[in-house]
A and B are shown apart, each in its own frame.
Chain A
Amino acid sequence: MTHPPVPIDEKARRQIDGMIAAEARHLAARRAAEDACPCQDGMFPAGPAASRRRFLFAAGSAGAAAVAAPALAQTAPPGAQYFAPQADPTKEQGRPVAGDGGYGSRSQFETEVRWRYPTPNEHTSWSMTPLDHMLGNLTPSGLHFERHHGGIPTIDPNRHLLFVHGLVDGPRKFTMADLKRFPSVTRRHFIECSGNGLTEWNKPTLKTVQGTHGLLSTSEWTGVLFSTIAREVGLKDEAAWVLAEGADAAVMTRSIPMEKMLQDAILAYGQNGEAIRPEQGYPLRLLLPGFEGNTHIKWLRRLEVSDKPFMTREETSKYTDLMADGKARLFTLEMDAKSVITFPSGEMKLPGPGFYTIAGFAWSGRGRIQSVDVSTDGGKTWVPARLDTVPEPICTVRFSLPWTWDGKPAVLQSRCTDETGYIQPTLRELVAIRGANGPFGSVYHLNAIQSWAVAADGSITNVHA
């Protein structure tokens, strides 16, 4: 029940093939770490037993290489440190307080990582959040998706300055200490790359929800509102756009409508209770709730107030949406309402008929999520899901629905409605509007309903239904 095939060009095919290969490598690594027990196969994050086996395997390999090594070289996944598991932690003392140097790390048994899309150049690339293994609504800072165009700069915050100039009464520069003296706001918002799902226009391509939807993350952001800074510098009457510029090697620039800047733009220096991560723009990034991720300029060093947009590379040659008639949409900034089921999702396997809790995320760049419906029959019938977190403006919500699987093939879908009344469309509806010129026509803003097929053996696959 899919739309007509979408022809794709050579570059699109290369990109998609690269993503398939990258996901396959990630899946192979994950499988190597998983327990052999078929009842656990792919369904849950690798548990302690499985992870221990992987560490032993890794240690064994290292031991074989270093013949007379007295102790096994131990490894831990990124973001963790290795400690020898205790046979009975109730019979001996644990590790000393603050023995970690004062900054904690995740358990060595937790192995989830972002994986990078294999662009030819590793400085301009992106990495995906493992949505299928998220346990709450916020994304751990170390698993927040990335998109960089010139690598991750290392910036000394004591030397970093934000310049605000152009159509203002008095151009000013602000140190990080200056910015932190202003009243701050703390708000939870998602950021989604408008390229999220670009492999999925034509046919089901990537296997996991990390691959199909992983350019989505949610954080609590802290910073000063642009409107506060605007009063500080004084806007001229003709001020209508703001150019935001980053201090990375791409010197990334985007033009933002003043209306948005004054509505809710945040100059963010905090993420999930601490300074924002280097990959997220340390020490300062622009946060534009609900706008496509590329506009949230990281390593923010300059805001130039203007009467017109600047028509930068990223807002003309990229991040525009080419329609079937050869004309392209410009400044397609808002992220439309979207949802996805993360459990069960691609590459998982249900161990057998019985009770499961279907769960996922829903979000909208235009406001709160109002409701989420779930279908287990490919969209023929819908049941309201429970919202498991309180809907906040331009923030993800978790949803869930109890489900008893009868062991027969099923197609799981979720469909959300936001507070503006917008209903998440089907892929067929979306392609009918955007045209069938494929991933290098309308590349961006794929917010269609996602379908996961459940086979009789319990395995879950990405399908177009």
Chain B
Amino acid sequence: MCMRDGLLAGFAAGLLAAGVLALPATSPAAAAEGRYGFGTPATPEELARFFAIPPDGRGLPPGRGTVARGATVFAEQCVACHGEKLEGIPTPGIGGDKLIGGRGSLATKTPVKTVESYWPYATTLFDYVKRAMPFSAPGSLPDDDVYAVVAYILSQAKIIGPDDTLDATTLPKVAMPNRDGFFPDPRPERRLYR
């Protein structure tokens, strides 16, 4: 038995002997494994409400959405902040980002960063809309509507076609224009050591 295990077992035994805490004591099994045993197992049901969608699409929910349906969702849920032409509305009290345009601007003196010009993964757009949009009622859109509004934005950005449908299979395959536009952090910058 290594020293840490011994310490933990001793700690657990001390707790039991003193009976000082109303909390469940460390289980002998946990202590034997070098654990404290605090906390409780999380069930699949409890974890089911969480999501985070990486580029490979793991965890994308069932459902599907068309560009046409997305136009309706956008008009109902998004246009007030992001504008009829997805151009963004910077005025006080609103402040929705510009969503499309700017393609080819990144290497110029006036780069314009949008979903179209800058975002490397379509899965990120799905994740963010499902997570935090619309701003006035975050996380309220049904998955079908999230797929649909993502399809609408990507179609307005001419990244997918007007008749395309997005679902868990097709979304991760969307080729974003700036997919290869990122590279790992090279800092600390070597030039600063010359």
List residues of A whose CB falls within 8 A of some B CB: 7-9, 11, 14, 118-121, 123-124, 149-150, 163-165, 170-175, 177-179, 181-182, 231-232, 243, 245, 249-251, 253, 302, 304, 306, 308-313, 316-317, 320, 322, 324-334, 336, 366, 420-423, 425, 429, 432-433, 436-438, 440-441, 445
> Residues of A contacting B41 with CB < 8 Å?
170-173
Picked from B52, B56, B93, B189, the residue with its CB within 8 Å of the CB of A253 is B52
Q: Apart from A174-B39, A327-B182, A422-B193, what are 15 other A-B pairs with CB-CB below 8 Å? A: A119-B95, A121-B93, A163-B47, A170-B41, A178-B38, A311-B55, A311-B123, A316-B182, A317-B113, A328-B181, A329-B182, A329-B186, A334-B185, A420-B188, A425-B192
Binary interface encoding of chain B residues 78-117 relative to chain A, with 1 for a CB under 8 A from any of its CBs, else 0: 0000000000001111110010000000111111110100
CB distance from A375 to the nearest CB of B (A): 18
Closest to A325 in B: B107
> Residues of A contacting B127 with CB < 8 Å?
253, 310, 312-313
B54–A310 contact, CB under 8 A? Answer: yes
- Alpha-carbon distance A425/B190, docked complex (angstroms): 12
- Alpha-carbon distance A432/B191, docked complex (angstroms): 10
Among the listed stretches B67-75, B128-136, B143-151, which one makes contact with chain A, having 4 or more residues with CB under 8 Å of it?
Answer: B128-136
24 pairs of residues in contact across A and B, judged by CB atoms under 8 Å? A11-B90, A121-B93, A149-B132, A164-B42, A172-B41, A177-B23, A178-B39, A232-B35, A232-B39, A245-B50, A249-B138, A253-B52, A304-B50, A310-B127, A311-B121, A312-B52, A317-B118, A317-B124, A320-B182, A324-B107, A329-B185, A429-B191, A429-B192, A437-B109
Picked from A165, A232, A251, the residue with its CB within 8 Å of the CB of B38 is A232
- Alpha-carbon distance A9/B106, docked complex (angstroms): 12
Question: How extensive is the interface on chain B, given as a class?
Answer: 35 or more
B124–A181 contact, CB under 8 A? Answer: no
CB distance from B19 to the nearest CB of A (A): 15
CB distance from B101 to the nearest CB of A (A): 12
CB distance from A398 to the nearest CB of B (A): 24
B52–A304 contact, CB under 8 A? Answer: yes
A317–B186 contact, CB under 8 A? Answer: no
> Residues of A contacting B132 with CB < 8 Å?
149-150, 249-251
3 pairs of A and B residues whose beta carbons are closest in the complex: A326-B107, A120-B95, A326-B106
B109–A121 contact, CB under 8 A? Answer: no
B120–A331 contact, CB under 8 A? Answer: no
CB distance from B110 to the nearest CB of A (A): 4
> Residues of B contacting A250 with CB < 8 Å?
131-132, 138
Closest to A15 in B: B90
A121–B111 contact, CB under 8 A? Answer: no
A7–B110 contact, CB under 8 A? Answer: yes
